[in-house]
Amino acid sequence: MNQRDLELLSSYLDGQLSPSDSARLENRLKTDVQLASVLNDLRATRILLRKLPARRAPRNFTLTRKMVGQNPPLPRAYPFFRLASALATLLFVFSFGLNSVSRLTAPVFGMGGGGGDASQQSTELFAAEEAPAATEAPATEAPAEPPAAMAPAPTMTASVEDALRAAETPTLKAADVGNAAGQSELQKQTPAQLVPFTWQVVLGVVAVLSALLMLLMRGIAISRWR
Amino acid sequence: MNEQALITDAQNGSLDAFNTLVLHYQDSVFNTALRILGDDDLAADATQDAFISAFKSITTFRGGSFKAWLMRTVTNACYDELRRQKRRPTTPLEPDTDDGEEMDSPRWLADPNMTPDQKAEADEVEHAIQHCLDNLPLEFKTVVVMADIQGMDYIEVATSIRVPLGTIKSRLARARLRLRECLQSFEELLPASYRLEEGMNVS
């Protein structure tokens, strides 16, 4: 049995041969016993396969929206509130960061300016190292200060530094007061919050309200979708 | 069921329309997967994957036989499953007999409405055929399952697995011959009503 005859027999069983090919094959089958035997085998196999009982599906295979990753249709305003919430949150956090940085820099002013405080005279070495840096910033503000007739503050560091400071910023000496009045003046000069508290509250409220509105919109959309 | 309307709705995103199609075709799809994979659980997984994949790509359906298109999806899911099985071979969990040995045939899954004799008969036939199908090369098995078990015509089968019509004819003929040779070894086990008949006259 060659492959060509096998295909002819199989196609004949399925009624896939042309009438002329079928007639030719039927003529051969009358005389060729082996061909007829193979045809019978193929036919029996085909019948057996078609008798195979079809199983019912063990469960329903219907899909859920989650399975196919479908999302509910959200209102057009949803992206606006999402953006507003994200921006407000970002600015809110940024404002805190900015204010924290400004607060961190404030003690440096105090140390530099309050160098004459007796209690700080015995401070650690790092205070002495920071002092030159502090001399510059208050120096810009110093002209606005009333030139108080105060004694030059006794410095807490080496005399070389004192000399340098005196050379660089003569007006600083006016600011580097050792008495309480001078110190309170300097404390008033510490930079205020860069972002006002009111703005922070507004940003916080906008962020929370936008987020709540987003949740509400989403909830309504999902309940309608179902 | 207006199949074309449901397909159009599903293409427009209607999951309800698609689920109506799922309910209509799920038995055919599951049976195809079952005969290709030879395991109920794997077949169920492949069927679910096939329907998910079909929904996601239903916009690519351009007409013709929807059943053939679905069959292509399920055969792809079966091939994926077989590839996964090759990478991670597992031991099937089958119930034990009273003697503590694993059951050879899935008698425990049979239809409870059948009489014990019918059940035994059906089990033997199903087991024998599935065994022979499992021994066929995958490309032969796919063709014979679609043509002889699902009753699809040659063109539908060719569309489903995207091979020329001549290849379908060749694979089907060779698959039938191999199955015949395999089933002959089960002849004595098969009940009389299922025995392969010999010496039938050519019509």
Give the CATH number of the domain where residue B21 resides: 1.10.1740.10
Q: A8-21 b/e with 16+ CB inside 10 Å = b?
A: bbbbbbeebbeeee
**Residue B62 placed within a domain:** yes
Q: Do A14 and B19 touch (CB under 8 A)?
A: no
From CA A88, how far away is CA A163, in angstroms rounded?
A: 50
Q: Is A45 in contact with B196 (Cβ distance < 8 A)?
A: yes
Nearest to A55 among B23, B34, B200 (CB): B34
Contact A44, B196 (CB under 8 A): yes
Residues B1 and B83 in one domain: yes
Q: What is the pLDDT of residue A135?
A: 44
Check A62 against B19: CB less than 8 A apart: yes
Taking the Cβ of residue B173 and every Cβ of chain A, the question of whether any pair is shorter than 8 Å is answered with yes
Q: Which of B87, B105, B129 is the last residue of a domain?
A: B87
Residue A67 in tokens: 């399975």
Structure tokens at A108: 């440096």
Collapsing DSSP to helix, strand or coil, B100 comes out as coil
Beta bridge partners of B102: B96
- Domain of residue B164, CATH code: 1.10.10.10
Whether residues B77 and B156 fall in one domain: no
Residue B143 shares a structural domain with residue B185:
yes
Contact A40 B18 (CB under 8 A): no
The number of residues in chain B equals 203
**Same domain? B59 vs B131:** no
- Looking at the DSSP bridge assignments, the partners of residue B96 are B102
Residue B131 domain flag: yes
d(CA A129, CA B180) in angstroms, rounded, equals 97
Q: Does B149 fall in a domain? A: yes
Q: Would residue B165 count as lying in a domain?
A: yes
Q: Considering only the beta carbons, identify the residue of A49, A56, A58 that sits closest to B144.
A: A49
Instruction: List the domain range (segments joined by +) for residue B184.
Output: 114-194
- Cβ B30–A58 below 8 Å, yes or no? yes
Question: Do B48 and B122 reside in the same domain of the chain?
Answer: no
Min Cα distance B43 → chain A (Å) is 10
- Yes or no, beta carbons of A63 and B26 under 8 Å apart: no
pLDDT value of residue B190: 63
pLDDT < 70 positions in chain A: 106-192, 225-226
Query: Does residue B104 sit within a domain?
Result: no
> Are A148 and A177 within 8 A, CB to CB?
yes
Nearest Cβ partner of B176 from A30, A45, A57? A45
Instruction: State residue A104's pLDDT score.
Output: 78
Number of domains in chain B: 2
Q: Are residue B132 and residue B83 in the same domain, yes or no?
A: no
Is residue B70 domain-shared with residue B118, that is, in the same domain?
no
Rounded CA-CA distance B151/B134 in Å is 19
User: Does some domain include residue B94?
Assistant: no
CA distances from B97 to B102, B103, B107, B108, B130 (A): 6, 6, 11, 10, 21
A52/B40 CB distance under 8 A: no
Residues B150-161 have pLDDT tens digits of 999 999 999 999
Domain presence at residue B68: yes
B155 touches chain A (CB under 8 A): no
B10 lies in the same domain as B55: yes
pLDDT attached to residue B72: 94
In terms of domains, do B33 and B76 share one? yes
Convert B15-37 to b/e letters by CB count within 10 Å (16 or more is b): bebbbbbbeebbebbbbbbbbbb
Residues of chain B with pLDDT under 50: 102-112, 199-203
For residue A6, which residues of chain B lie inside 8 Å, CB to CB? 173-174, 177
Is B120 in the same domain as B171?
A: yes
Tell whether B192 is within 8 A of chain A (Cβ). no
Query: Closest approach of chain A CAs to the CA of B170, in angstroms?
Result: 6
Other C-beta atoms within 10 Å of B62: how many? 6
pTM value surpassing 0.80: no
One domain for residues B1 and B68: yes
d(CA A22, CA A39): 13
Amino acid occupying residue A173 = K
Query: If 0-12 CB within 10 Å is exposed, 13-18 middle and 19+ buried, where does residue A183 land?
Result: middle
Give chain B positions within 8 Å (CB) of A56. Answer: 27, 30
pLDDT of amino acid A96: 84
Residues B189 and B122 in one domain: yes
So what's the pLDDT on residue B116?
Answer: 66
Assigned domain for B96 exists = no
